[in-house]
Amino acid sequence: DRLAAALRSAKRPFLLAGRGAWLAGAGEALGALADATGALTASSALGRGVFPDQRFDLGVTGGFGAEDAMELIREADVAVVFGASLNQFTMRFGALFAPGTQVFQIDVTPAATHAHVSGFVRADARLAAEALVSRLQDAEGSGWRESVDVAAARVYDSGDDLAPDGRLDPRSAARRIAELLPEDRVVVSDGGHFIGWANMYWPVASPDRMMMIGTAFQAIGQGWPSVVGATRARPEATVVLTSGDGGGLMAIADLESAVRAAGGRGMAVIWNDAAYGAEVNLYGLKGLAREPMLIPQVDFSAFAAAVGAEGVAVRTLADLDRLASWTAEDPDTRPFLVLDLRISGDVIAPYQEEIIRVNS
């Protein structure tokens, strides 16, 4: 009742959902609660796509979030969190909510998982959302979400065609790839600096269509073998691997397995900056020797051809036109596609800049 009262009186309500809300089947109830209260919504990285109405959704929170969207979240006076652990990345290392925001958390854990939480309810996310909707059926919406330009707030830096060093700008490449990817995709992500590009620029239809394997294990080299698992779990979908060159090389023995298992229903995007990019950003900037963090320029397109896939060395945005034609082809006859993106390592993802600031 206290939580319902807080939402009823809120002028700028905000709902945040994580993967736990998805597992509880809370999407529809959360959408109804957002409608009843006039709340803006957003999700953790593992909960993307859980809210049914994208018109008022600010996207992903934390370092992957668009800066203007994150500023809107800081304007919230009441925030309710469903099924999200509120780890340091989701919370932007404590800066997601303003000091005056009243934060409630609903979860099956025994207690609140962050010090900013002022009210905790141990409950199933769906059942709790439904109970709140029943209590707020006669509530007048705050009108906050209609007063802001959500689409403008979600815009990311589009980048340049090429970075100053002459290599591909990963931001513009990610944006163009998002326009061309098959809509039935399941994205499988290895670990590394590059994880920001897919999480920022590629839309996700539902939480079960973005699998962050590298993050789950806090390790790299998980990408190629995970394609096999994703293909077996979702044989009707197009499996898209996003990987760095370091992790891609570490698991290169499983490239052939991925190609054989997925065939024309699989593709890979290799963010090839000729380095262990995260190490360069986090340790090289501290003054440690960079040489062990660098990788000679590897041709993943040649690796692809060697095991029966099609490889494309992508040096300009025009080279991505092959993805457009590949998407239009019959999955039963097209080859597994490997896009070897020769990107600049000088463009640092915002989430890494955030970590650098905290570590400094």
For residue 304, give the CATH number of its domain.
Answer: 3.40.50.970
Expressed as residue numbers, the domain containing 11 is 2-153
pLDDT, position 285: 83
Q: 145 and 174: one domain? A: no
- 158, part of any domain: no
| Phi, psi (degrees; rounded to nearest 5) at 272 | -100, 95
Residue 331 Cα distances to 189, 220, 326, 327, 335, angstroms = 21, 29, 9, 8, 8
Residue numbers of the chain with a pLDDT score lower than 50: none
Last residue of a domain, one of 99, 123, 153: 153
Pair type for strands 57-60 and 78-82:
unpaired
The structural domain count of the chain equals 2
* Residue 92, pLDDT score: 96
Look at residue 220 in the predicted model and tell me its pLDDT: 95
Nearest to 267 by CA among 324, 212, 206: 324
Final residue before a domain boundary, out of 108, 126, 153: 153
- Note the pLDDT of residue 194: 97
Q: Give the span between the Cα atoms of 289 and 263, in whole angstroms.
A: 41
pLDDT reported for residue 286:
86
Question: Is 165 within a domain?
Answer: no
The answer on 219 and 141 residing in a single domain is no
- Whether 322 is covered by a domain: the verdict is yes
Asked if residues 40 and 58 have their Cβ atoms less than 8 Å apart, the reply is yes
In-domain check, residue 86? yes
Owner of token pair 């590009």:
197
Give 42-86 pLDDT, tens digit per residue. 999 999 999 999 999 999 999 999 999 999 999 999 999 999 999
Q: What is the pLDDT of residue 335?
A: 99
End of a domain among 113, 128, 153? 153
Quick: pLDDT tens for 145-196.
Answer: 999 999 999 999 999 999 999 999 999 999 999 999 999 999 999 999 999 9
Nearest to 195 by CA among 179, 210, 180: 210
For the whole model, what pTM was predicted?
0.94
